[in-house]
Each structure stands twice: as C-alpha cells, then as structure tokens.
C-alpha cells in the first residue's frame, strides 16, 4: 500500500460509520467512493436538484443552507468528519437545502447505487445509513426555535416505529371490543336501549381520539444530538412538556441496553451519564449504532479541543520566538453560539406582553433576573384583592343607600380598617412574589428567596460546573400559560427555577450563558499562557549573558 492510499484510508477510518470497519473492509469501500476537491465558494448542490450522492467531509468546511428560519434541516457549517446529502439514501428525493464550500474542501462522495451495494455487504453501514436517512426525514418535519446560530444537528430520532403500531393495535382492539359489546347489549335489550347505543359510539369515538393522541405523543418524543449537546425532548399533550439536555463535553459515559424483545425487533435504551445527571431515551431504533455515534462524537470533541490548544501553543511560541508581541487570544476562533443571547418575550403575543409588563425577565448590567410567573402573583394576591373588592362594593352600596340599616360611623370605620389591612396584605404578597428571584450572572446561578419582613435565603452555584439543564411544564394550566420548572444540576448541587415563564427559552439562555463563559475562560487561558511564555523568554534573555561568561 503506497503512502497516498494509506493516508486516504486513515481519513476514511476517522469518519463515522467507516470507523466501525476493519482496514480491509474500509479499503474495499474505497472502490465505491469518489473524491472531490472544491475551492472556496464552490456550489456542491442546490435546492430542488435530484439527490444522487451522499457526501462526507475529509477536510475543510461546507455551509448548508436550510429553506426555513430555525429549521432543523440544514442551517450550519459542517466540518471534517461530518456528512450531508442524506436525501440520496432514499429513492426519488430532491435536495431540500443547498450546499457550498466555505474553504478549500476535500469531499468523499458515494452515489445511490454504490450506497445500496455497500449497505447489502456491510450490516454496520446499513444500520448507520438507515439511521441517517430516518434522521433526515424527521429533521425535514421539524422547526426547532431553540437552535442557536452555529449549532448543527448531527442526529434526530424518534422511538421505534413499532411503538405507535402496537399502541394503535391495543387501543383500537379494546375500543372495538367495548363498542361491539355495548352495541350487542343495546340490540338485545327488551326495549332497545338508546343509552347503550350512545355509550357505544362514545366509546368508539374515545378509542379513535386516544389513538390519535398516542401517535402524537410518540411523534413529540425526540432524541437529538447536536455538535454542542445531547437533548431528550418529551411532550404529552395536556399533561407535561419537558426537555433535558447536557453538553457533550460534560458526558462521562454512554451505554445502551436491550431486552429480548428489543433485540428481535431492533430497539433499545440509550443512556448518557454526567457527574450527577443522567439522560436516557427508551426504545430507540438501532441503539448500538447510536451508541457508537455518540462515542465517535465524544472522541471528536476531545480531539478538537486538543487541536485548538495545540494551535494556541504554536501561535504563541511562534510569536514569542519571532520577537513579536502577539496576543494568542486573537487566534481563538470566536463562537457565534455565544455572541448574542436569545431575545425572549418578543413574539408579540399577549403572554409575552404580560411577561414584559410584570418584568418576569430583567437585565441589570451583566446579570439577568427571572421571576415566577404572573399567575403565581395572582394566586398569592387573590384573597386580599377579593376582600378589597368586597369592601369597595360595600362602600359604594352604602353610599347608594343599599345598606342603610347599618350604623354609618361603625360601618365606615370598620371598612377603613379592613381596607388598610387588606391593602397591606396585598402589598406584602406582591413583594413576597417580587423578591423571589432567580439570577443568572456572568459566572454564577443564584436563587434568592426573601420575605418582606422576614428571612432571606440565598443559594448560588458556579456556571462552569453545569452538568445538565432540564425544563418541565406540568398540568393543563402550566401548558396553557407556558410556565414550569428549570432544573440545573451543578456538581453535587441542584438549583431549580420554579414556576418561571417560558422555561424552554430560559433553559436555552442558561446553556448559551455556559458557552459564553467557556469561551471567555478559553480566552483568559490563552492570555495566561502568553504571560508564562513571556516570563520564560525574559528569564532566558536575562540569564543568557551570565551563562556565556567563563567561570
């Protein structure tokens, strides 16, 4: 094997799913691949073109443009090891996106015919390519508003398709059986029971609605992997809505479990563990392939971090040895992921207007202050407000002569005293609500609970130790008014932002804050490294003449 072929083979084995093959199998796959070199700005394919090739990036960057803002499909810059053009894995598909090279780029291309051939020969490639195509189809259906500018989707998967099928069979079988029994009882009764007839059709309608609800619940349970984080999103209409996520760098281990039935059908549970948190998703298709892909992405994140550190060291050393004063921080590629925090409560809806009116989110300097939902304020102040309303109506009624039997002076005196007490009670409850704050600072998360005339409880934890961030909305009122709880696992400490408005957006804002903090720490680390090297160079110059003199 010549050096060129050996280098190409090494590049192939560094890409998922070819990294699961042996050297001989990967070398055999090379016969079915084409290699393309693209200069910056080269159009690779356009929207609505027939899809014929699946592409893997060997070197360089490719920009994929989605057709919709915040669409799950496309909208990202893909780099070494990424793939795109999954439409080619299906028949008769056209591109829903367009792609062009950003820099000098090397691509590996496989046409549809060769893809089919490789999938027949190698089961591991078959599972991976089928998973890629299913992920593309799911992404084509979704618009994820919480995605940030440079965040790109690597994988989206629902639970195995057998789950809604089994659910439909069981619900419809039970509904039809109950319908048949009630209908039989109605026709065999002495005086044809109309009540049983109506009840039979109500049971049938309930079965149909339950089937639709069950399929919708399956469609809303999604497992997502991006280049920054892993997300488990779950929604059960009328009951709860939650999203649990963890930064890829915070994941300590991954694993998967399968039962006998799961192995026969092809589904299992994927587990991800951080220091104290755990994310799991049950009954995913191709659990071993998803596990292997997660391991590949975790290894790539580690290698990318090492490569950035190496470039930083090389840049700093070359600047110092060349005698130039160079700040290594300027060589750190800025992340658009953290350049601007998500602007929330700006949709123009009534709920967002109320959120701004009640100041449920405030920015003060570098801090963001969240308060509990205005519905919590309504609940706290309802009784004193009701008393004030009753006293006001009684006062108006007395002025209009409707309560003339009551003594005038005692009535007005009691009304005044009770009004003052109720007003003070209302003010106390308002400030009790207003003083409960959740604060997101540059480097800390703070939970402040303060009574107007009592104690103050303040808990804080560093942003840098965030392991998992999860939000959940429970109950019909929570879903309708869009409030819930954001849970942040920080080392051994757990902070909860309870009853906050738009918890999904707050979760995203916390995660963006974490990325901004990490970028800032990287910049500061570069500066510290520069100071160390500067000090070393200075000491070397100071000691040089002394060491050159004879003893």
Question: What is the predicted pLDDT for the residue at 190?
Answer: 67
Radius of gyration of the chain (CA): 31
Pick the CATH number of 1-122 from 3.90.650.10, 3.40.50.11810, 2.60.120.10, 2.30.42.10: 2.60.120.10
Percent of the chain with pLDDT over 70: 86
Q: Which of 115-124, 170-179, 488-497 has the lowest mean pLDDT?
A: 488-497
What average pLDDT does the segment 398-426 reach? 85
What are the structure tokens assigned to 221, written together? Answer: 């349970």
Q: What distance in Å separates the CA atoms of residue 381 and residue 389, rounded to the nearest whole number?
A: 12
Q: What distance in Å separates the CA atoms of residue 106 and residue 338, rounded to the nearest whole number?
A: 29
In the predicted structure, residue 341 carries a pLDDT above the cut 80: no
Question: What is the predicted pLDDT for the residue at 322?
Answer: 57
Q: What distance in Å separates the CA atoms of residue 489 and residue 99, rounded to the nearest whole number?
A: 38
Q: What distance in Å separates the CA atoms of residue 286 and residue 159, rounded to the nearest whole number?
A: 10
In the predicted structure, residue 417 carries a pLDDT above the cut 80: yes
Residue with tokens 């990424």: 82
In the predicted structure, residue 2 carries a pLDDT above the cut 70: no
Question: What is the predicted pLDDT for the residue at 546?
Answer: 54
Question: What is the predicted pLDDT for the residue at 147?
Answer: 75
**3 exposed, middle or buried (CB, 10 Å; 0-12, 13-18, 19+)?**
exposed
The string of DSSP codes covering 251-295 is --EEEEE--HHHHHHTEEEEEEE-SS-EEEEEEEESHHHHHHHHH
Question: What is the predicted pLDDT for the residue at 345?
Answer: 66
What average pLDDT does the segment 379-399 reach? 88
Sign of the four-CA dihedral 154, 79, 245, 17: positive
Of 4 and 236, the one with more pLDDT: 236
- Residue 236 Cα to chain centre, angstroms: 17
In the predicted structure, residue 325 carries a pLDDT above the cut 50: no
Q: What distance in Å separates the CA atoms of residue 303 and residue 305, rounded to the nearest whole number?
A: 5
Q: What distance in Å separates the CA atoms of residue 503 and residue 409, rounded to the nearest whole number?
A: 52
Question: What is the predicted pLDDT for the residue at 402?
Answer: 78
Confidence of residue 246 (pLDDT cuts 50, 70, 90): confident
Reference 14, options 2, 26, 28; nearest CA is 26
Reference 93, options 28, 145, 48, 62; nearest CA is 48
In the predicted structure, residue 195 carries a pLDDT above the cut 50: yes
Q: What distance in Å separates the CA atoms of residue 247 and residue 276, rounded to the nearest whole number?
A: 13
The string of DSSP codes covering 176-219 is HHHHHHHHHHHHHSTT--HHHHHHHHHHHHHHHHHHHHHHHHHH
In the predicted structure, residue 493 carries a pLDDT above the cut 80: no
State the chain's mean pLDDT as an integer: 81
Q: Which of 58-67, 314-323, 369-378 has the lowest mean pLDDT?
A: 314-323
The pLDDT tens digits of the residues spanning 453-469 come to 777 788 888 887 787 78
pTM score: 0.68
Confidence of residue 375 (pLDDT cuts 50, 70, 90): very high
What average pLDDT does the segment 253-261 reach? 86
Strand bridging mode 229-236 / 222-226: antiparallel
């Amino acid at each position: 094997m010549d050096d060129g072929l050996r280098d190409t083979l090494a590049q192939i084995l560094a890409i998922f799913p070819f990294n699961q093959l042996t050297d001989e199998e990967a070398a055999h796959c090379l016969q079915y691949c084409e290699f393309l070199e693209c200069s910056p700005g080269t159009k690779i394919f356009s929207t609505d073109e027939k899809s014929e090739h699946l592409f893997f990036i060997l070197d360089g960057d490719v920009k994929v443009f989605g057709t919709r803002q915040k669409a799950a499909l496309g909208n990202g810059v893909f780099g070494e090891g990424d793939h795109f053009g999954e439409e080619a894995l299906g028949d008769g598909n056209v591109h829903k996106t367009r792609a062009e090279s950003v820099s000098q780029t090397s691509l590996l291309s496989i046409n549809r015919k060769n893809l089919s051939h490789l999938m027949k020969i190698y089961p591991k490639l078959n599972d991976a390519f089928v998973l890629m195509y299913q992920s593309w189809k799911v992404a084509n259906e979704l618009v994820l508003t919480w995605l940030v500018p440079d965040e790109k989707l690597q994988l989206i998967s629902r639970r195995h398709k057998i789950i809604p099928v089994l659910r439909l069979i069981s619900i419809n079988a039970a509904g039809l059986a109950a319908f048949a029994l009630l209908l039989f009882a109605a026709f065999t009764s002495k005086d044809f029971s109309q009540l049983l007839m109506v009840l039979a059709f109500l049971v049938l309608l309930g079965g149909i609605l339950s089937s639709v609800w069950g399929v919708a619940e399956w469609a809303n349970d999604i497992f997502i992997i991006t280049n920054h984080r892993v997300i488990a999103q779950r929604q059960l209409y009328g009951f709860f809505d939650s999203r649990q996520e963890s930064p890829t760098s915070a994941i300590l281990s991954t694993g998967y479990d399968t039962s006998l039935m799961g192995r026969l059908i092809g589904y299992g549970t994927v587990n991800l563990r951080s220091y104290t948190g755990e994310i799991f998703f049950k009954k995913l298709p191709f659990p071993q392939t998803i596990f292997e892909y997660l391991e590949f992405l975790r290894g790539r994140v580690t290698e990318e971090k090492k490569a950035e550190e190496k470039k930083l060291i090389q840049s700093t050393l070359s600047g110092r040895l060349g005698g130039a004063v160079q700040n290594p921080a300027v060589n750190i590629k800025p992340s658009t992921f953290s350049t601007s925090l998500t602007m929330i409560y700006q949709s123009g809806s009534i709920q967002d207007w109320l959120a701004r009116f009640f100041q449920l989110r405030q920015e003060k300097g570098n801090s963001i202050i969240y308060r509990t939902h205005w519905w919590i304020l309504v609940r706290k102040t309802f009784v004193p407000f009701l008393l004030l309303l009753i006293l006001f109506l009684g006062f108006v009624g007395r002025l209009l002569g409707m309560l003339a039997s009551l003594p005038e002076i005692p009535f007005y005196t009691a009304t005044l005293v009770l009004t003052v007490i109720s007003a003070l009670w209302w003010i106390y409850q308002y400030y009790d609500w207003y003083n409960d704050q959740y604060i997101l600072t540059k480097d800390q998360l703070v939970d402040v609970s303060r009574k107007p005339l009592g104690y103050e409880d303040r808990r804080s934890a560093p942003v840098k130790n965030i392991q998992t961030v999860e939000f959940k909305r429970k109950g019909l009122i929570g879903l309708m008014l869009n409030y819930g709880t954001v849970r942040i696992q920080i080392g051994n400490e757990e902070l909860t932002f309870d009853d906050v408005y738009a918890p999904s957006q707050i979760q995203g804002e916390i995660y963006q804050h974490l990325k901004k903090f990490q970028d800032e720490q990287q910049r500061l680390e570069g500066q510290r490294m520069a100071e160390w090297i500067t000090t070393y160079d200075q000491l070397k110059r100071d000691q040089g003449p002394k060491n050159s003199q004879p003893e």
